[in-house]
Amino acid sequence: MCLNTIVRKEKVLDSERLRILPMGSRVNVVEKSGRRVRIDQPIVGWCSLNSSNGDTILKPLDPNSKQNVAPTPRSGQAAVTNLQSRVNETQAKIEKGGLDKAKLDELNAEKANLEARLAEVEAKNRQQQKVLEDWESAAKSNASTTADGLFSTDVQKIQFRNGDCLLLSKSAHLEGIVLVRCVSKDSSGKEIIGCDYKGQLPENFAGASDGTLDGKQLWKIPTGFSGVWLERKDFKGLLPTLPLLNRLEKIEQENTDLTYYKDTAEAFIQVIKDMGKKYKNAPYIDLGDGEQIEGKKYAADFMNKFTKIQIAD
């Protein structure tokens, strides 16, 4: 994907819109009809090879490439693709030659910086993929969930992991969920679980914590959260993390869509403003058939009629 683009259910441009794929995503084309193509990965639907004004939307991958189609168009994968493209472009400039030493040093430094950023993003992607695989495995290992969507695993017996999401019971005297950060023991040897709680704690809450125990920093509390020490009896159940991840991914896609809409709208608005200024500066606008209108009035009418934008396929 060379541009953010719409995937539609059918070949026709007025069919149902399924989603917007971000620039850098990979798709698998299985059918071509004019400038429209049908894809089956990462979603089944139709998109365009080129836009109506000739901009390239889809570009073939290198036929010698061993890379597979990305299973899900995450922004992380798009970042990898974008950075790799910039590394390749910089390398091509270096290999082209004809550069003075200062320019060559500048390009080599730029390439090194891009490669470092690329390695960092790839490492984060691998880490996220490992977490996803672990969560998928954990989800499959649980035979069923309760009626309220919690894993049926007995919270009194499970081994907590950093990042587990737990629903609070009434005994906690708090509402909502917490994130497990550490498991330790108090001075009497009783197990206590350090958690991040979103929001303010009740006044004089007994389990409030700054993330330390006996002077040792066990975890750092992020901005906007409160630290708490709780016991197993304070938890109602373990939230199914995989559905939460799927929800986060849906939100990520919605953010991609909104960014696309925002960028398109801002560009369109700027064009409208520029055209409006030209109309305003013209003494008269010739509408044809001898009809004329004062430039200022035409500019005002023109701006007033601008009420919405449309994203073209």
Distance CA 125, CA 305 (A): 46
Same domain, 79 and 137: yes
Q: Is the pLDDT of residue 160 over 90?
A: no
Distance CA 238, CA 235 (A): 8
Residue 236, phi then psi, degrees to nearest 5: -90, -35
> Rounded mean pLDDT of the chain?
79
Distance CA 158, CA 161 (A): 9
> Using an 8 Å Cβ cutoff, are 17 and 6 in contact?
yes
Measure the CA angle with vertex 59, ends 57 and 64; round to 5°: 165
Same domain, 271 and 218: no
Same domain, 66 and 91: no
Residue 312: inside a domain: no
Q: Is the pLDDT of residue 305 over 90?
A: no
The predicted pLDDT at position 193 comes to: 95
Which residues constitute the domain of residue 203?
165-239
Q: Is the pLDDT of residue 226 over 80?
A: yes
Residue 265: inside a domain: yes
Q: Is 217 left (phi over 0), alpha (psi -120 to 50) or beta?
A: beta
Q: pLDDT tens across 178-193, in order?
A: 899 999 999 899 999 9
Residue 309: inside a domain: no
Same domain, 46 and 99: no
Task: Indicate the pTM of the whole model.
Answer: 0.35
Same domain, 1 and 59: yes
> Using an 8 Å Cβ cutoff, are 108 and 87 in contact?
no
Number of domains in the chain: 4
Report the side by side order of strands in the sheet with 28-33.
17-21, 5-8, 45-48, 36-41, 28-33
Same domain, 216 and 234: yes
Q: pLDDT tens across 16-60, in order?
A: 888 888 777 888 899 999 999 999 888 889 999 988 777 889 988
Please say which residue of 239, 263, 289 terminates a domain. Answer: 239
